[in-house]
Chain A
C-alpha cells in the first residue's frame, strides 16, 4: 500500500500509476460544485486555505458539533466528479493541486492537466461515508459556510490513512477510459 502525506511532492505523484491503491494522511480540503464555479469565475481562496501541494476532495459531508462544540464529521463519501470537468483543469493549474479525490472519474481536460502540472485523480469508494469518516480525525476549520451552505462549503479535514485508488495518473492514463472502451466493445457482442 502506497502512503501519501500532504503536502505531496510532485515526484511522489508522478510515481503513481493507474490501479495503485494508496492511503493519504495529512490535510484535505473539500470543494465541490459551488467552490469550482466560484474559483473559475475568479474567486479567491479564503485566508487559511492553501491548495499548494494539496489534495482537494469532492465531498459534501455531514458535519455536526460535538458536546465540546467542536466540528465532528459523521459521514463523508465522495461526490460525482465529472460535474467539475469544466473547471478542474484550471483549479489544478492555478492553485497547485497534486491530487483530486472524487468518484466516477473525470474527462480529457482534467487528464491533460494532471499530466502537464503533475496531479492525479484519486478515486474514493462512493457511498462509503462511514469508512471514510472514520479516517477523518479532526475538522479544524470550515470556510465559506455562510455563502455556500454546509455541503458546498470548504471543509478542512485532518485525515489518517484515507483509502483511495489511482484511476487517472500523471502519465495520461485513465482507468475510466479503459473500462468504458472495453465494456462498450463487450456490450456490442451481446446485442
Chain B
C-alpha cells in the first residue's frame, strides 16, 4: 500500500512537472516554424523555457494543475478500493508538496478544503483485462482548456454540418475557431464521433492518451485527423491566439456507436501544457517502467 502510494505520488509529480517527449518534440518543431521576431515566436520561446524550468525545479508546468483523471488497466482480482484509497492519499500528499494546486472546491459553497480530494476528485476509470499487468495513466487537465471543449449535435443548420465525415470536419474546425486564445494554444484535440452526451465527452478525453505521433487504425479517421491539423494551421490563429502558424499540435479521433436518433461530435481541447504520463506497476506497487 505504501509502495503504491509512493508510486502514484511520483506519477503525479512527474505528470505535473514534465511534458511528455512526444509533446515536447511537437512544441520545439512549432517554435522553429514560427516567423522570427513575431509575438507568436516570443510566446513559443517562453513556452519552451517554461518546460525546461518546470522540469529542473520539479514544479508545476502550469499553476492550474487541473482535473486529476486516472485510467487504470488491471488484472482480475485487483483491489480497486485499495487503489482508490492510495490514489486519494497520493493526491493529498502531492497537494501539500505543491505539485498540485489546491484546486478542488465545493460546487455550491465554493469552499476549498485544500486537499484536492472530494466528490469526483480524483476521477478514476478502471478497466479489467486478462493480462497480469497493471498500468496507470494520469491526465491533469486544466480548466482553461476544459472550458473550451464543445459538443455538437448533428445536423447543425448554422454550421451546415450534416451527418457525415464532412459534417464532423466542419464542427471540429468550428471548435478550433471558437477556442482561439482561451484554451492556451497551440492545442491538441481529442474527439469522439458518436456515443451519448456523457460517453462522447468521456471517450474524447481518452483519445488524449494516444501519442501525438501515432497513426489512427482507421484510414478515413487518420485522414481526417491530418486534415484538421493542417487546415487549423492555415487559419492564422497561432500560439495564444496571437496570430501565427501553429494553432494545433495534433488531433486524435475515436468512434463509438450511436443511436439512430443521435449524432454527437464531442471535442476535448488540451492546452500545450499537455500533462499526461503513465506507469506499469510491479505486483508490489512499485514503478516498473514509464509509458510516455
Least CB distance, A163 to chain B, in whole angstroms = 7
* Interface range on chain A (Cβ under 8 Å from partner): 35 or more
Scan A117-134; emit 1 where CB is below 8 A from any B CB, else 0: 000000101111111011
**Chain B residues within 8 Å of A21, by CB:** 39, 42
Contact A131 B46 (CB under 8 A): yes
**C-beta contact mask, B251-281 vs A, less than 8 Å → 1, else 0?**
0000000000000000000011100000000
The answer to the question of B82 belonging to the interface, with a C-beta cut-off of 8 Å to chain A, is no
**Contact: B60 with A183, CB < 8 Å?**
no
Interface string of A169-191 (1 = CB under 8 A from B): 00000011011101110110011
Interface size class of B (residues with CB under 8 A): 35 or more
Residue of A79, A103, A187 most packed against chain B (CB within 10 A) = A187
Instruction: Report if B54 contacts A (CB, 8 A).
Output: yes
Residue B120 lies at the interface, judged by CB distance under 8 Å to chain A: no
Q: Once the chains bind, are A60 and B42 in contact (CB under 8 Å)?
A: no
Tell me whether B177 and A184 are in contact (CB under 8 A).
yes
Q: B47 is contacted by which of A105, A123, A127, A184 (Cβ under 8 Å)?
A: A127
**A75 lies within 8 A of B63 (CB):** yes
Query: Residue among A34, A128, A180 with the most chain B CB within 10 A?
Result: A128
Q: Do the beta carbons of A75 and B60 come within 8 Å of each other?
A: yes
Please pick, from B39, B53, B234, B241, the residue contacting A105 in the complex, using a CB distance under 8 A.
B241
Taking CB atoms and an 8 Å cut-off, the chain B residues in 123-164 that contact chain A are 142-144, 147, 160
Query: Interface majority SS on B: helix, strand, loop or mixed?
Result: loop
Chain A residues in 8 Å Cβ range of B50:
125, 127-131
Q: Are A187 and B272 also in contact (CB < 8 A) when A60-B101, A103-B184 are?
A: no
- Which single member of B173, B182, B236, B273 contacts A191 (CB below 8 Å)? B173
| Bound CA–CA A74/B13 (angstroms) | 14
Query: Is the CB–CB distance between A149 and B62 below 8 Å?
Result: no
Is B182 in contact with A149, judged by CB distance below 8 angstroms? Answer: no
Contact (Cβ within 8 A) B98 A64? yes
Q: Which of B102, B237, B243 contacts A149 (CB 8 A)?
A: B102
> In whole Å, how far is A177's beta carbon from the nearest beta carbon of chain B?
11
CA distance A152 to B63 in the complex (A): 13
Q: Which residue of B lies closest to A183 (CB)?
A: B235
Q: Shortest distance in angstroms between A44's beta carbon and chain B's nearest beta carbon?
A: 19
Q: Are B54 and A130 interface neighbours, CB within 8 A?
A: yes
Q: How far is the CA of A150 from the CA of B115 in the complex (A)?
A: 12
Given A75-B63, A150-B114, A165-B39, A130:B53 Cβ within 8 A: yes
Q: Contacts A79-B64, A79-B144 known; A105 to B181 CB distance under 8 Å?
A: yes
Cβ–Cβ contact A127 & B105, under 8 A: no
Pairwise interchain contact A127-B61, C-beta atoms closer than 8 A: yes
Q: Is the CB of B59 within 8 A of A75?
A: yes
Q: Are A190 and B271 in contact (CB under 8 A)?
A: no
Question: Would B63 and A179 count as touching, CB distance under 8 A?
Answer: no
- Let me know if A82 is at the binding interface, CB within 8 A: yes
Q: Is the Cβ of A179 less than 8 Å from the Cβ of B238? A: yes
Q: A80 CA to B102 CA in the complex, in Å? A: 18
Query: Beyond the given A125-B43, A131-B50, could you list 13 further A-B residue pairs with CB under 8 A, ordered by the A residue number?
Result: A62-B65, A64-B98, A75-B59, A80-B143, A129-B54, A129-B61, A149-B102, A150-B114, A151-B102, A176-B181, A182-B236, A186-B235, A187-B173
- Which 7 A/B pairs are nearest by Cβ-Cβ distance? A149-B112, A126-B184, A75-B63, A104-B182, A127-B273, A130-B53, A128-B50
Chain A residues engaging chain B, CB cutoff 8 angstroms: 19, 21, 34, 59-62, 64, 74-77, 79-80, 82, 103-105, 123, 125-131, 133-134, 148-152, 163, 165, 167, 175-176, 178-180, 182-184, 186-187, 190-191
- Identify 23 residue pairs between A and B in the complex whose beta-carbon atoms are under 8 Å apart, listed by A's number: A61-B101, A74-B59, A75-B59, A75-B60, A77-B64, A103-B181, A104-B181, A127-B50, A127-B184, A128-B46, A133-B63, A134-B53, A149-B105, A150-B101, A176-B180, A179-B181, A179-B237, A180-B177, A180-B180, A180-B241, A183-B237, A187-B177, A191-B173
Residues of B within 8 A of A (CB): 39, 42-43, 46-47, 49-50, 53-54, 57, 59-65, 98, 101-103, 105, 110-112, 114, 142-144, 147, 160, 170, 173, 177, 180-184, 231, 234-238, 240-243, 271-273
